[in-house]
Structure 1
Amino acid sequence: MSKRAQPTVRKRRLAATLRSLRDQAGVSPEQVKEELDWSRSTVSKVETANMGVSVSDVRVLCELYGTDHKITEWLVKTARDAKRRGWWASYNDAMPSIFEDYVELESEATCAHYFDLRRRYRSLHATVPLMGSRTVGELLARLGRRVKVRASLR
């Protein structure tokens, strides 16, 4: 089994929510550091999902931030779920490790957006620079490669 290079979707969601709650509560990273006896870099790593956080620490953080009970319980559940491997982990031998992140993102997605290029041709010219391409042909080639990656997941 390969070591993950990127934080999971669940860890990212947990980290972003903890950071947002800290900001809303007006608590400084220094105060978190003191309350949990962490280093400043640990606070940063937890809030950027580069380090996991224990359920007990999530509870302490929620208390420090004055978080509502329902949000606290959701964060505790998210912290537990973040430690679990996804259903796809048992298929590691059947797919290249590079696809693990794609499969995880797809399984955690809550909605899907579809883009019909035929109907959007006029706006396509405006999209070219936004997508980092120089021409419509280059953009279509890039999108074609993305579609092939997506199709290989099915």
Structure 2
Amino acid sequence: MTQRQSPTVRRRRLALTLRQLRTAAGLTSGEAARRVDHDSSWLSRIENAEVRPHPNDVRALLSLYQISGEQAEAVIAVARQAKQRGWWQHYTDVLPNWFATFVGMESEASVIRTYECQMVPGLLQTEDYARAAFRGAPVPMRDEEVERQVALRMDRQAILASDDPPLLRVVIDEGAVRRLVGGPAVMKAQIDRLIGDSQRTHIQVQLLPYTAGFGFDGSFVILDFPPLPAPYPDAAEDRMVYVDTLTGALYLERPAELSAYSAAYEQLQALALGPAESRDKLGKIAADLPTQ
């Protein structure tokens, strides 16, 4: 299976690159927009990844910023890719825009770090666990909607079997694996999957035990994105934090926000059991589950 390219990531990377190039050229967004015959707010919307610019407009901006040759063509190629449809568009009937953005980002992340205090992370859920979780969600769903949501969740997991899978680093609170989502049989199968997945080279699962005496009130995901290969001009570190809510999401990118969540994740990781110890603990939890 090949790696999926994400137009969402391409649009965001293009926005960051155009902002960096404009700043290096010593222009404000309003000045640059007027120089290529657009209103002053047009470029701001592009640089905030709110709209997808036409490749011809990108070419005009690059000329203004004195970027030419192979570098310019690399940026324009990304602009074309940003206008494509993502694989997740097949699920627009059950996929709200705020979560579609995350699915697009997740699809091309190089490193995914997640802390879960209530549930098993979606990328590691079994089909039966996911189905039970959606059926028990606070917002009721029709049966057909539940099945579409389960299909989407299983399709997201394809990135873990791609030719170049992301590094997945997971810290799960012990309470999440002790909660009987779907009943004992479903939970045993789910824990068995966690144990099996944690032995794959690109997946690390750590359990934060009750005995740690510390937790974090709120799940979150940190996504790292790989730099595009030369001659693309953008080589800056690219990271985002995603925080899920009942009816929306937060996408955090400011340095102070990234630093705070990165530090929180490192602390949770340090307090959690190591990978081997976590597998042993998970095995004991599964063995203690009732048989009926």
Q: TM-score, with normalisation over the residues of structure 2?
A: 0.37
**Cross-structure match for 2:41:** 41
Give deviations 1:70-107, integer Å, cap 9, x for gaps.
Answer: 221121111111111111212334x5436423321111
Provide the C-alpha distance between the structure 2 equivalents of 1:30 and 1:142, rounded to a whole number of angstroms. Answer: 39
2:201 is aligned with 1:142: no
| 1:122-133 matches, cutoff 5 A | none
Shift of 1:120: 8.7
**Residue 96 and residue 34 in structure 1: after superposition, are their counterparts in 2 closer, same or farther (change >3 A)?**
closer
**Cross-structure match for 1:88:** 88
**Residue 116 and residue 52 in structure 1: after superposition, are their counterparts in 2 closer, same or farther (change >3 A)?**
closer
Provide the C-alpha distance between the structure 2 equivalents of 1:42 and 1:26, rounded to a whole number of angstroms. Answer: 18
Q: Which moved more, 1:10-19 or 1:64-73?
A: 64-73
**Residue 63 and residue 107 in structure 1: after superposition, are their counterparts in 2 closer, same or farther (change >3 A)?**
same
**Cross-structure match for 1:131:** none
Provide the C-alpha distance between the structure 1 equivalents of 2:40 and 2:102, rounded to a whole number of angstroms. Answer: 32
Give deviations 1:26-80, integer Å, cap 9, x for gaps.
Answer: 2333431332111111121122122221101111111110114222112111111
**What SS does the corresponding residue of 1:83 show, helix, strand or coil?**
coil
Shift of 1:115: 5.0
Consecutive unaligned residues of structure 1, counting only runs of 5 or more, are 1-6, 126-135, 150-154
Letter matched to residue 14 of structure 1: L
**Cross-structure match for 1:29:** 29
Q: Please state which structure has a larger fraction of its residues in helix.
A: 1
Shift of 1:24: 0.9
Q: TM-score, with normalisation over the residues of structure 1?
A: 0.65
2:53 is aligned with 1:53: yes
**Cross-structure match for 1:65:** 65
**Residue 77 and residue 109 in structure 1: after superposition, are their counterparts in 2 closer, same or farther (change >3 A)?**
same
Letter matched to residue 83 of structure 1: K
- Identity, in percent, stands at 35
Consecutive unaligned residues of structure 2, counting only runs of 5 or more, are 1-6, 114-168, 173-205, 222-243, 245-292
Give deviations 1:89-143, integer Å, cap 9, x for gaps.
Answer: 12334x543642332111121233425576999xx89xxxxxxxxxx34x1x533
**Cross-structure match for 2:76:** 76
Shift of 1:25: 1.6
Letter matched to residue 73 of structure 1: E
RMSD: 3.1
**Residue 111 and residue 73 in structure 1: after superposition, are their counterparts in 2 closer, same or farther (change >3 A)?**
farther
Letter matched to residue 218 of structure 2: R
**Cross-structure match for 2:247:** none
**Residue 87 and residue 23 in structure 1: after superposition, are their counterparts in 2 closer, same or farther (change >3 A)?**
same
Aligned residues: 125
